[in-house]
Structure 1
Amino acid sequence: MRLVVIGVNHKTAPVALRERLALVGDDVNIALKQLEAFTDGSVIVSTCNRTEIYALVPQALASQNSTLPSSNLTSSLDSQLSESQKAESTGQEVASNAFTSSSKLSSATISAHIIKIKSWLATFKQLSLSEIDSYLYVHRDTHALTHWLRVAAGLDSMILGEPQILGQIKRSVHLAQEQKVLSNQLGWVVDQVFAAAKRVRNETKVGAQAVSLSFAAAKLVTQIFDDLPSRTLLVVAAGEMNRLVATHIAGLGVGRVIICNRNPERAEALAAELRNPNRRVEVRTLQELPQVLAEADIVSSCSGSMDLLIDKTMTLQALKRRRYQPMLMIDLAVPRDIDSTISRIDDIYLYSVDDLQHVIAGNIEQRRQAAVDAELLVSQLVVEMDRSFQVRQVGKDIEQYRARTQDQVDKLLHDSIAQLQQSDASPEDILTELSRRLTQKLTHAPSKLLRKAAREGDSELLDFVVAGLNESHRGRR
């Protein structure tokens, strides 16, 4: 398939090295343009947990001798490739390659391009290859495709089954498209990966259960409320945990958010993150909490205060003003922000951090069990994608073979017409010679393939080719 993946992630490299290898901002655009010089298209995925380069090795074998990105790379390649391997990648005559799939490059050629990409990455990040090489993993062909699908489906993430990585890959692909470095073939692979990842998530339960506090809180909202644009979220304290919860819940489409916080600057910073044309975001003081509580359908509190912020009396008053419409309260604080006795009140759904942790623990185990099914499905989908790629590729091989054959036929016909116009030979002799030369040209490649199969003792290939040739003759009668 010519696909290679080179990268580091949270399992192979410490965070200090991942930070140094991260490709963000303008670096990504520059890197994609540089990779274009020695790949047939590339995509760079760089997150806090991974930096990966997905690339197609150039199909033209001559590209193995292209200008290298660092002055030391030529000697490095020379030391990596034996003379016999180099000879393997120099190419053959057209007739010798007529029945060889152009999608299959030699192992030496692919290895050479992997070294190119590794060396380029080290140079681009101003590091030595020896400094990063032991942390880099490399996948090629179907192994690379399997890795990409596992990453896209959330099977290779720090949090098993998390959905964010698929969106990050889509943004990376969009950047490659903007830079016009996403080749048609790599674009086809990307489409297959996205479709397969969607199947994995839809047909297994690997991403169905919440395994983070913020995700679990968002799940509760969808289970209790519908018509989310008409709902109001009250965020009590604007710390990091509440920021994550608020981001998840607001992302569901909640139409209004109220933020109560002691520090107005932090509250305004969170409000700026959550505000959009379809969502109204307001900042209130913590002293206004009793008044705004009645306006909230969903409450998320995580203040770090040593005292209760929401007691039973305040809640009963708010519930009465709401005409006893249901309220979801999520208390992530330790010590608690919300009086635990509130859970006994009708129309109040109160969840503490311990409640959510119990839910998450069970969900993690369910995801691990679902991951077994997901991995099996990934294996099946990779086989399907690889076969589809080969079918797609062989169509191009056939097209190229027919074009080369037509060129040869046109040349022979042109020579014969010239002889008819200029030579004293009889038309019968000229046409007989044309027929003989055409026969030689058209049977050379199949004959060579038959001899090769016989020499190597490949009886299965030999029988297949013989049967195919005989079938083609029968079909012409």
Structure 2
Amino acid sequence: MRLVVIGVNHKTAPVALRERLALVGDDVNVALEQIETFTDGSVIVSTCNRTEIYALVPQNPTHQSSASQISGSSSSGSQSVDSQAAESAEQSLSNFVSSTNVSAAAMSNHITKIKTWLADFKKLPLADIDPYLYVHRDTHALTHWLRVAAGLDSMILGEPQILGQIKRSVHLAQEQKVLSNQLGWIVDQVFAAAKRVRNETQVGAQAVSLSFAAAKLVTQIFDDLPSRTLLVVAAGEMNRLVATHIAGLGVGRVIICNRNPERAEALAAELHHPDRRIEVHPLQALPQLLSEADIVSSCSGSMDLLIDKPMTIQALKRRRYQPMLMIDLAVPRDIDSTISRIDDIYLYSIDDLQHVIAGNIEQRRQAAVDAELLVSQLIVEIDRRFQVRQVGKDIQQYRACTQGQVEKLLQESIAQLQQDNTSPEDIITELSRRLTQTLTHAPSKLMRKAAREGDSDLLDFVVSGLQDAHRGH
């Protein structure tokens, strides 16, 4: 398959090294342009947890032989031409049997070249990074890529963000015109297989982060999300993540209450969407705004309660007792815990969410077993499709090469008919001999090689194939 993966991730390298090897912004464009010069296509995936290069190593030069090698050569006699044609046919048949795999030595050389390039590009000694780099080849590389895309190799098992990051990396490779047809075909197979893993197993079904768990609660309690209002109390990092997840569900209105107006405005800009109303208010306006919220997420770091029981009861009255979901991520708490006893209030603390997450992580681990089994099956299917796809190209190349040899010998015979006094019968007889010698040389030599090396499978394949061909005639 010629696919190779070289990289580091959160399992193999400390964060300090991952930061130094990260390829972001313009670095990726330059890197793709440079790596194209010694690969047959590449994709670079670089996140906070991994930097990986997916590339196709070039084919062996001998694989490029074709009829043009014969037609461009000079002929000092029929024996020389027959020998060249036979050698070309032998190479074509060998390619037909062996597909496009490169030798182990060639693969190792290209892997070393990519490693050296990466070290030079990041201005780091190769000896410093080589112990942390992992390398996967051919179907092992394909398996790794699928596991990454399906979230099975992530720090948070089953997380969906990595698939989007890979898609963005592929899109960038397409824009840079470094995604070859064959690598593009492999990418399509990986995306389709990753979708099946996520659809046919439960590996990504359970919430395993606070922000994701909060968003799942929203979908379990409310429908018609465009008509719902989210109240964000404090615009710190944790609340930013929660607000991003909940707003991404399609909530139609977001109210941000924060002491610092600059931070609130920054969050408002991040959550901006044409179909979403966003308002920014000072924290003092919280009592008046509480009744307008269907969903409340609070994480302020305040030492005092921000939402107490009387404030909540008053808000419920103004809402005509429509249900409210309150998520308190603060330690100490922002929301009075006794509010949970009020009807129509669903209050979850950070401890509640972490308890849910702990159970969900265990469920994901169990689902990961099914996902790994499915990955193994899908890799076999992809490899079979690849072989079928590739053998068609090899057959086409072999036929083209053979047709070129026949055409050359035929033209030489026609020229001899026009110039010599040799009888047509003798010329046709000679043409038949040369064609037979040319077209049987390759399979004969291949059979001798298989017998000499004890490769009974290859010998049986060639012999039975030739016998079937003769019976077909």
Asked if these proteins are the same fold (TM beyond 0.5), I'd say: yes
Task: Select 2:134's aligned residue among 134, 137, 151.
Answer: 137
Q: 1:106 to 1:120 in 2, by over 3 A?
A: same
Does residue 247 in structure 1 map to residue 241 in structure 2? no
Moved more, 444-453 or 46-55: 444-453
Counterpart in the other structure of 1:95: 89
Counterpart in the other structure of 1:427: 424
Counterpart in the other structure of 2:215: 218
Does residue 147 in structure 1 map to residue 144 in structure 2? yes
Does residue 387 in structure 1 map to residue 384 in structure 2? yes
Moved more, 370-379 or 342-351: 342-351
Deviations 1:103-158 (Å, cap 9, x if unpaired)?
Answer: 11100001000011000001111111111111111111011001100100001111
Is residue 300–residue 331 contact of structure 1 (8 Å, CA) maintained in 2?
yes
Counterpart in the other structure of 2:406: 409
Task: Select 2:291's aligned residue among 294, 298, 301.
Answer: 294
Does residue 194 in structure 1 map to residue 191 in structure 2? yes
Counterpart in the other structure of 2:49: 49
Counterpart in the other structure of 1:71: none
- Structure 1: how far apart are the matches of 2:400 and 2:429? 24
Aligned partner of residue 88 in structure 2, secondary structure: coil
Gap runs ≥5 in structure 1: 64-91
Amino acid at match of 2:90: S
Gap runs ≥5 in structure 2: 64-85
The Cα shift of 1:102 comes to 4.2
User: What are the within-5 Å matches in structure 2 for residues 345-360 of structure 1?
Assistant: 345-360=342-357
Amino acid at match of 1:352: S
Deviations 1:450-474 (Å, cap 9, x if unpaired)?
Answer: 1112112222322232222111111
Higher relative contact order (CA 8 A, sep 6+): 2
Counterpart in the other structure of 2:264: 267
Deviations 1:209-229 (Å, cap 9, x if unpaired)?
Answer: 000100100111111111111
- Structure 1: how far apart are the matches of 2:336 and 2:466? 84
Deviations 1:193-216 (Å, cap 9, x if unpaired)?
Answer: 000000111111110000010010
Task: Select 1:158's aligned residue among 155, 159, 171.
Answer: 155
Deviations 1:273-325 (Å, cap 9, x if unpaired)?
Answer: 11121211111111111111111111000111111111111111111211222
Amino acid at match of 2:61: L
Does residue 25 in structure 1 map to residue 25 in structure 2? yes
Task: Select 1:456's aligned residue among 426, 435, 453.
Answer: 453
Amino acid at match of 1:447: S
> Which 4+ runs in 1 deviate beyond 4 A?
none
Amino acid at match of 2:7: G
- Structure 1: how far apart are the matches of 2:176 and 2:358? 43
The Cα shift of 1:96 comes to 3.2
Deviations 1:161-189 (Å, cap 9, x if unpaired)?
Answer: 10000000000000000000000000000
TM-score (norm 1): 0.92
The Cα shift of 1:346 comes to 1.7
User: What are the within-5 Å matches in structure 2 for residues 77-96 of structure 1?
Assistant: 93-96=87-90
Does residue 285 in structure 1 map to residue 282 in structure 2? yes
The aligned length equals 448
- Structure 2: how far apart are the matches of 1:163 and 1:282? 30
Counterpart in the other structure of 2:77: none
The Cα shift of 1:413 comes to 0.6
Counterpart in the other structure of 1:35: 35
Task: Select 2:320's aligned residue among 314, 319, 323.
Answer: 323
Is residue 89–residue 398 contact of structure 2 (8 Å, CA) maintained in 1?
no
Is residue 59–residue 102 contact of structure 1 (8 Å, CA) maintained in 2?
no
TM-score (norm 2): 0.93
Counterpart in the other structure of 2:303: 306
Deviations 1:372-429 (Å, cap 9, x if unpaired)?
Answer: 1111111111111111111111111111111111110010010011111111111111
Amino acid at match of 1:375: E
The Cα shift of 1:16 comes to 0.8
Amino acid at match of 1:318: A
- Structure 2: how far apart are the matches of 1:62 and 1:133? 31
CA RMSD of aligned residues (A): 1.3
- Structure 1: how far apart are the matches of 2:123 and 2:289? 54
The Cα shift of 1:93 comes to 4.8
Aligned partner of residue 4 in structure 1, secondary structure: strand
